[in-house]
Amino acid sequence: MGHAELFMNWAFRSAVNILPLSKDQKSLSLALTEWVYTGEMYDLEAPNETCQLCDHPNIRYQFNIRNAHNHNELLVGSECINKFEIRAVDESGALLNVIESRRKVNRDKRHLVSEASKKRLINALVELLKKDEEFEIENFINYVQDRGAFTPLQLSILVWRLNEKGIRHNPADFTLIMRRNREKDQLRAMPDWKIRKIWDYLSSPQKEWVIGNTRFKL
């Protein structure tokens, strides 16, 4: 199936869903101008919903669009808002242009993804506390909530404890901070085997820095 045919399929399904809820029930392009993204968004924590506009499955992040004439609402994926150029409203209720609307949708989705990552991280730390009551996890939780990341030594300790207790976690949820000389010195002083333990938790620029500024060898 070609791109044009896929788009027609997608547009047809969207027309079937949105026209009956719109003032203009004949033209999809005109009907779409009646709808706005309200700024309400939801993380379902699992990709188990369907976009109410285009019927695309496996939606995790839902965005509310509302008809300006009759106040009907649909919960849709961010792709539909951007592809159909549905405009958003800002905090004061003013209608944004297409470019500003796209930026708002993308910014809001990044916020949802970031919050989900933080939640998974905290859940992993709480689970560690349950399995290792002698481990003073509160200091780590307070630190990451305050600074949004861990020092190299903190990350090394956490990875060791999480793996030892068999607690499932996603390395992408952990952020390493290395802005200060103290934090960089911690990496310089780490033996290779410790750096290898936290390697998957580092960003690409951080990995490049480690290779270029320490004695670590892959």
**Mean pLDDT for back-to-back runs of 10 residues, the chain (218 residues):** 57 93 95 96 95 95 97 96 95 93 96 93 91 82 87 95 94 93 95 96 96 88
Q: What pLDDT, on a 0 to 100 scale, did the predictor assign at position 140?
A: 85
| Helical (H) or strand (E) element with 129 | helix 98-131
- The model carries a pTM of 0.79
Pairing of strands 35-43, 87-88: parallel
Tokens at 88, concatenated: 């958003």
Q: What pLDDT, on a 0 to 100 scale, did the predictor assign at position 7?
A: 54
Residue 54: closest CA among 8, 109, 22, 100: 8
Residues 11 and 31: beta-carbon distance below 8 Å: no
Match 């939780």 to its residue by tokens. Answer: 141
- Sort 70 into a burial class: Cβ within 10 Å, 0-12 / 13-18 / 19+: exposed
**Nearest-angstrom CA–CA distance, 56 and 146:** 38
**Nearest-angstrom CA–CA distance, 56 and 142:** 39
